[in-house]
Amino acid sequence: MSLDQFEGRKPDHPIAAEFPARWSPRSFTDRIVTEADVMSLLEAARWAPSASNHQPWRLVWSRRGEDGFAAIRDALSGVNPVWAGRAGALFAVASKDTVTNREGAEVANRTAGFDTGAAWMSLALQAGTMGLYAHAMGGFDKDKLSLAVGLPEGHTLHCVVAVGELGPVEALPEDLQAREKPSGRKPVDEIAVHGRF
């Protein structure tokens, strides 16, 4: 897909093409996401930076056709299970809430969510290099997903990520077809200020 057809996807300042080329589609082809693909995606997530290199992210993955895939899909809410059920793989993205301090006590890791965001973005950008797309979903039932992935105590679920090859718009239910396009962004001066707020 060429981004030329999407006005709002043109960067205002020079950046690597990978950034605007990443987007979150809902239509996926039947392409199988192999276990080797999954390992490359996880490897990319693994190299994300984190405070004190604690690496708090924890991912639970399953490929289409596996029981675990169906369990994660069924924990999604709204229209998410309809399209994400066609993805090649699903990743439940969680983080460990605490770290062990120098005195051996478990203390809150204040940056766990921030660090885990970096890991998901690494996975998404890696997917792009493999001809795949990653789509994050915050729309899930927390209790169902916790049960589905066997979430241990002291962990927080952040999102589910669907990964697959971009499929045709027509494969989506009609109500989703109009939304199947890369979105725009606020200009830089709305998200950043020089000096101070």
Ligand X SMILES: Cc1cc2nc3c(=O)[nH]c(=O)nc-3n(C[C@H](O)[C@H](O)[C@H](O)COP(=O)(O)O)c2cc1C
Shortest gap between Cβ of 43 and ligand X (angstroms)?
21
Under 8 Å CB-to-CB from 9, ≥6 apart: which residues? 3, 20, 23, 182, 183, 184
Closer residue to ligand X (CB): 34 or 129: 129
- Residue number, 24 or 177, with CB nearest to ligand X: 24
Contact predicate 123/135, CB 8 Å: no
Q: In this structure, are residues 132 and 34 in contact, taking their beta carbons and an 8 Å threshold?
A: no
Given the complex with ligand X, which of 60 and 101 has the nearer CB atom?
60
**Do 81 and 178 contact (CB within 8 A), yes or no?**
no
8 A C-beta contact, residue 59 and residue 94: yes
CB of 126 to ligand X, least distance (A): 15
Q: Which pair of tokens denotes residue 74? A: 């069924």
Quote the least distance from Cβ 196 to ligand X, whole Å: 27
Indicate the residue among 52 and 183 with the shorter CB distance to ligand X: 183
Return the structure tokens found at 197: 């707020």
**Minimal distance in Å, beta carbon 65 to ligand X?**
22
Smallest distance, Å, CB 94 to ligand X? Answer: 13
**Nearest residue relative to ligand X (C-beta):** 139
* Site residues, ligand X (CB under 6 A): 23-24, 80, 136-139, 159, 182-183
Sheet holding 89-96, edge to edge: 57-63, 89-96, 155-164, 133-137
In terms of CB distance, is 60 or 159 closer to ligand X? 159
Residue 106 Cβ vs ligand X, minimum distance, rounded to whole Å: 26
- The CA distance from 122 to 120, in Å, is 5
**Which CB, 72 or 159, lies closer to ligand X?**
159
**Alpha helices (H) along the chain:** 18-21, 35-46, 67-74, 80-84, 112-129, 142-149, 174-177, 188-191
